[in-house]
Amino acid sequence: MQLFADLAQSFPLMRGGGAFLVAVGLGIVVGAFGSRRWRIVALIVGAGVGVVIMAVGGATKLIFAGLPSPAIWQWVVLGVAFLVEGYLVSVVVRKFPDLDSRPFWMWMLFIVGAHFLILGFSHGPICALLAVLCMVNALIGLRATSVDYRVFWGIDGALKIVGGASMIAISYA
């Protein structure tokens, strides 16, 4: 258990990132059961709830309770990850303008996974493992065309829920 306690001390952003992942993951899972419009609404609601959780938790210091302040380089890594993700999203939007297509959604899931690889440096190894799992899921989704891509969308959401919940639980260990 000491390993997990040290993990939270080394990666204090882990708890807030985990809370955000759980909220987004729930939105993704809910969105997997509907049309594109429903999927986007559920994703936006999940992300919005995640942002509120982080904003309130950060303002009240609950997210960092018992943890050291994150190092400046961890905040920089977080910013770089968002910039990389934003750029890659713009590439996918240009390459796959059909927002209902399998390639569009699977590449979006892959990009989010890729940005988790970067976040692994600021949020810890659970986030890096989640990155690999999300990218593998997206690549399988690109290849397994006989399976509805919403299955892979739902798996991605479930991975985020489990990864985020693990990050939260370990941060309180």
Q: Which two tokens stand for residue 79?
A: 């910013």
Q: Is the pLDDT score of 30 beyond 60?
A: yes
Show contacts of 157-160: CB within 8 Å, 24+ apart. Answer: 157/24, 157/25, 157/26, 157/27, 157/28, 157/29, 157/30, 157/31, 157/32, 158/25, 158/29, 159/25, 159/130, 159/133, 159/134, 160/21, 160/22, 160/24, 160/25, 160/28, 160/130, 160/134
Global pTM exceeds 0.85: yes
Classify residue 101 as left (phi > 0), alpha (psi -120 to 50) or beta: beta
Per the document, the length of the chain is 173
pLDDT in tens, 55-71: 888 777 778 888 888 99
Taking only Cα atoms into account, the Rg of the chain, rounded to an integer number of angstroms, comes to 16
pLDDT in tens, 136-165: 999 999 999 999 999 999 999 999 999 999
DSSP notation for 5-19: HHHHHH-TTHHHHHH
Confidence of residue 125 (pLDDT cuts 50, 70, 90): very high
Distance (Å, rounded) from C-alpha 62 to C-alpha 83? 27
Amino acid 64: pLDDT: 82
Q: Is the pLDDT score of 117 beyond 80?
A: yes
Amino acid 79: pLDDT: 92
DSSP notation for 58-108: HHTT-TTTTSPPPPHHHHHHHHHHHHHHHHHHHHHHHH---TTSHHHHHHH
pLDDT mean over 9-14:
91
Amino acid 4: pLDDT: 64
Amino acid 133: pLDDT: 98
